[in-house]
Copies of this chain bind each other. A is one copy, B any other.
Amino acid sequence: MTRVDKVDQRREAGQRTRAGLQAAALELLSQRGQEGVTLREITDLAGANVAAVSYHFGSLKKLCEAAIEHALEQYLNAQIGELEALPSTATLQEVAGAFARPMVRALAAGGPDLAVMRTVARVGIEPPEGWERLHGKFDRTREGVIRVLAPTLPDVDAEELAFRTRCAAGMLNWLALAPVGTELATLPAERIERHLVPVVAGALRGDATVGR
């Protein structure tokens, strides 16, 4: 052990409380939303002192912003990763699978992963004022989805496809927040996916049957 190691240990301890605060904030944000969390709840859950928030983040608001921003990054990266892994010949069900998979995984995993998805979903129902930047990030990912999706649904025009994509995304977000998702979460990931993919794909394809 050199002397530098001990300094590093202290620095790492600092980063650990910092990360703990952020994780605790995320968990509570996912349950109660931005307006429903209090400083003391977060510090209690993180096992840290109230002053640690000022020290590491400056204020409660900045801590929440950091936590939300980080969650959104995680989600978007997962989503983009799934899309880029698709072959260019992907079928509708494969695209729907890639689209739903981050949520499916989070539901099955629970814990911090699910907290990420719940928080992202909450951002999605926040009125746009003050959230323009984050909502913009959603938009850009949706464009990527539509690009991959369009070839599998040549009969659906672009505007319609955009709308259906938002509906499908809304459906997934709903699962993150509503009790039905909690029930789903008791199943293993593959079974969740087997249930979900046909529904997502069906919503994207639409139903054009006339008569029975």
CA distance A205 to B212 in the complex (A): 12
* Secondary structure dominating the interface of A: helix
Cβ A199 vs Cβ B206 within 8 A: yes
CB <8 Å contact, A170 and B174: yes
Q: Does any Cβ of B come within 8 Å of A116's Cβ? A: no
Task: Verify if A130 is at the interface (C-beta below 8 Å from B).
Answer: no
Question: Are A202's CB and B195's CB within 8 A?
Answer: no
Within 8 A of B (CB), among A67-113: 89, 91-93, 96
Minimum C-beta distance from A153 to chain B (A) = 10
A180 proximity list for chain B (CB < 8 A)? 163, 166-167, 170
What band does the interface of chain A fall in when counting residues whose beta carbon is under 8 Å from B? 35 or more
- A200-B164 Cα distance, complex, nearest whole Å: 10
Per a CB cutoff under 8 Å, which of B32, B170, B199, B202 touches A35? Answer: B32
State the CA gap A196–B160 with chains docked (Å).
10
Binds B, one of A16-24, A45-53, A121-129: A121-129
20 contacts between A and B (CB under 8 A): A33-B33, A92-B207, A92-B209, A93-B209, A96-B207, A124-B178, A127-B179, A160-B195, A164-B199, A166-B180, A170-B170, A171-B171, A173-B174, A198-B206, A198-B208, A199-B206, A201-B209, A202-B202, A202-B206, A205-B209
Residues of chain A at the chain B interface (Cβ within 8 Å): 31-33, 35-36, 89, 91-93, 96, 124-125, 127-128, 135, 152, 160, 163-164, 166-168, 170-171, 173-175, 177-180, 195-196, 198-212
List 7 additional A-B contacts (Cβ < 8 Å) besides A91-B209, A166-B180, A167-B175: A31-B127, A33-B33, A91-B211, A125-B178, A163-B180, A198-B206, A200-B203
